Amino acid sequence: MTVRSIALAAASALALTAATPALADHHAASSEAEAPAGTAEIGPWGIDLEGRNLAVDPGDDFYEYAGGTWMANTEMPGDRSRYGSFDMLRERSEQQVRAILNDLAADPEAAGATGQMVGDFYGAWMDEEAIEARGTAPLAPYLARIDAIEDRAGLLEIFGTVGYDSPVGVGTLPDPADPTRYIAFASQAGLGMPSRDYYLDEGEDYVAFRAAYRDYIIRLHELAGIPDGAAKADRIIALETQMAEAHWEPARQRDIQQIYNPMNREQLAELAPQFDWSNWLDGMGFGIVDTVVAAETTAITAAGELLDSVSLDTWKEYLTFQFINDHAHFLPRAFDEAQFEFFGRTLRGTEEQRERWERGVALVNANIGEAIGQIYVDRHYSGEARRQMTELIVNLRAALRERLENSDWMDEETRAEAFAKLDAFDPRIGHPESWIDYSDLEVRRDDLLGNAIRAQQFAVDLDLERLPEPVDRSLWAMNPQTVNAYYSPLTNQITFPAAILQPPFFDPNADPAVNYGAIGAVIGHEIGHGFDDQGRRFDGTGRIRDWWSETTEQQFQERAARLGAQYSAVEVLPGLNLDGDLGMGENIGDLGGVEMAYAAYQRYVADHGEPPVLDGLTGDQRFFLSWAQVWRGLIRENRLREQALTGPHSPPEYRTNNVVPNIDAWYEAFDVGPDNAMYIPPEERVTIW
């Protein structure tokens, strides 16, 4: 069964968790200067000084000033739609995982059962010859199940089966009303393209995307030897367009008040009787469940209506195409190339596929990630990193506490609640305390598609097993080898995997200003999610509860609205602006994160004395430069469009340039005044946390 997004989605990550590739090892800046030791990995003390564009005034375009020369001298790799510091660290993590895989392959006996499983998963992916030789045979049993559908009951059964698409996905998460237990949720799903705009927008780009989608559907039919591809493509697109018309906008999906609609089975039957909920839920293993959170209610109702109004044959055509589409990369090269042609080249503007091994690393990480994570942690995570991170988190919390104390717009009662929430924050660093046991998962060297389906089934079964139990707060939603971080409002946990504790985010040998400006602001970003427009609706236990007084809430809304307006004013492509509502949580996280980290850095300075000037840069300048260096990067136009439309993160440039001009200290650090392009008058700057 498909469980796509549910917006309250258990977690707000730092960045899109797109898997990524190639070869790292770049910046070896060599300046001598008055800097200390020179043991940092990037530059003499943690910043790539030569990557700056000194021809640009920092106050006119800080993003360009901080990374312009690097961006001008860096070519977008053909296999990328976005490329920057973040992606380079991801490449490094992939190389680290690749080394683990090679070691396991070289010495399977020493690797044990887990190593065997990892080696077979990866080996099945890498054996292209065997994949070609099998042709479309692996598809046959899965498509036969679709062919055998005779009525709506059969259709629903397939909708609830792992590996197949469905207009409504069902999954589990901690119950926002009682986060000590799990609840089931149902959410809109089923589109082949990224969001409803791709089906409905009349702009010429979208018209072209739709034409390319049609060609792609026809192509997959040809490759699979299924007749009448053109006529089927028209019917499939017509069906998905009807779904898209009822789908909620991404910004609306973020609103917990709109999507938290717990319903018992009777109410579900009223909402969308065609789903025959009792049988459907029982069949999917949710037999013990009485209540389901129906997220996008009207979209679910519309999906139910489509079950009746659209013919069974069209549904079967849709399911067949989507099954092949979802798994095309596990099939012979021609399928894989067709999938890349549409999703990579056309939708994102990427020129080439990533290398096979990189995609293999991503596949293994996604399916049995904790099996590798244990080895990764042994090799790449140190007690010193943990110690320094713990200290940073302590300072960030203290900084926010002080800012809450001094906040002039919170009344005392709300402030006390905010303190309670802050005190209850549960930070997690590096890796989970216990690991998933994959020993029941069958992995076969000669069955790539089957491995992928069984791994999905394994994950679903694990969720179903946990469903009747109390919420397990020790679980992680990211692997240790993932370069990212997240906040979960339902458990009030902030989580920092081992892999993000590397340059440019964190370097134990870097100047403290650099670490505060990068990983410090990341910590602040995650803490900030606890107090963003959605996170603030949850209390310290993860329960959804309104702990805000009316006047303080108004003050918050007023500030958030002004911040949203700043982002909505940004035109990223002709006629396409950012959506301040869609990005609200992430943008509050970024602004609050940098503000908190700056305050924490000031605490550090107060403890350790005024920092030295390094290479002509003050500590405050280095702090802001560090944040900008994290986000510097290149992005292709179509990827930019996708990110602006589907969010929630602002494109990298705006994570720098829309944040710093709201912070007074940035003006002082770089002597920015009314004549500078980025200048915002003090009364228009937004400070929330």
**Binding map of Zn ion across residues 468-487, x = CB under 5 A, - = no contact:** --------------------
Q: Which is nearer to Zn ion, 349 or 589 (CB)?
A: 589
Which candidate, 163, 132, 171, 141, places its Cα nearest to that of 3?
Answer: 171
Q: Which is nearer to Zn ion, 292 or 523 (CB)?
A: 523
Query: What SS3 class is residue 185?
Result: strand
Q: Which stretch binds Zn ion (CB under 5 A): 12-20, 61-69, 601-609, 614-622?
A: 12-20
Least Cβ distance, residue 529 to Zn ion (angstroms): 6
**Binding map of Zn ion across residues 402-441, x = CB under 5 A, - = no contact:** ----------------------------------------
| Count of chain residues binding Zn ion (CB under 5 A) | 3
Identify how many contiguous H helices and E strands the chain contains and give both numbers.
28, 12
Least Cβ distance, residue 485 to Zn ion (angstroms): 8
Q: Which is nearer to Zn ion, 12 or 662 (CB)?
A: 12
Burial class (CB in 10 A: 0-12, 13-18, 19+), 291: middle
Least Cβ distance, residue 335 to Zn ion (angstroms): 35
Q: Which is nearer to Zn ion, 169 or 589 (CB)?
A: 589
**Which H or E run includes 643?**
helix 637-646
Q: Which stretch binds Zn ion (CB under 5 A): 11-19, 341-349, 547-555, 671-679?
A: 11-19
Which candidate, 581, 508, 613, places its Cα nearest to that of 249?
Answer: 581
Q: Which stretch binds Zn ion (CB under 5 A): 7-15, 239-247, 287-295, 345-353?
A: 7-15
187 vs 296: CA distance, rounded Å: 6
Q: Which is nearer to Zn ion, 171 or 489 (CB)?
A: 489
Q: Which is nearer to Zn ion, 79 or 586 (CB)?
A: 586
Least Cβ distance, residue 542 to Zn ion (angstroms): 17
Q: Which is nearer to Zn ion, 95 or 657 (CB)?
A: 657
**Interface positions, 563-592, toward Zn ion (CB under 5 A):** 586, 589
**Is residue 493 a contact residue for Zn ion (CB under 5 A)?**
no
Which candidate, 309, 320, 294, 24, places its Cα nearest to that of 184?
Answer: 294
Least Cβ distance, residue 500 to Zn ion (angstroms): 13
Q: Which is nearer to Zn ion, 118 or 393 (CB)?
A: 393
Which candidate, 651, 673, 628, places its Cα nearest to that of 51?
Answer: 628
Question: With contact defined as beta carbons under 8 Å apart, do 434 and 374 qualify?
Answer: no
Q: Which is nearer to Zn ion, 175 or 586 (CB)?
A: 586
CB atoms within 10 A of CB 518: 29
Instruction: State residue 276 phi and psi, 5-degree precision.
Output: 45, 60
2, 9, 12, 187: residue in contact with Zn ion (rule CB under 5 A): 12
Q: Which stretch binds Zn ion (CB under 5 A): 4-12, 17-25, 350-358, 359-367?
A: 4-12
Question: With contact defined as beta carbons under 8 Å apart, do 608 and 214 qualify?
Answer: no
Q: In whole angstroms, how far apart are CA 486 and each of 132, 426, 528, 529, 689?
A: 39, 12, 11, 9, 18
Least Cβ distance, residue 578 to Zn ion (angstroms): 15
Query: What SS3 class is residue 313?
Result: helix
Least Cβ distance, residue 496 to Zn ion (angstroms): 12
Q: Which stretch binds Zn ion (CB under 5 A): 8-16, 152-160, 404-412, 491-499?
A: 8-16
362-395 as b/e, with b when 16 or more CB fall inside 10 Å? Answer: bbbbbbbbbbbbebbbeebbeeebbebbeebbeb
Nearby residues of 314 by Cβ (< 8 Å), 6 or more positions away: 235, 236, 239
Q: Which is nearer to Zn ion, 595 or 620 (CB)?
A: 595
| Amino acid sitting at position 162 | V
Least Cβ distance, residue 592 to Zn ion (angstroms): 10
| Binding footprint of Zn ion on the chain (CB under 5 A) | 12, 586, 589
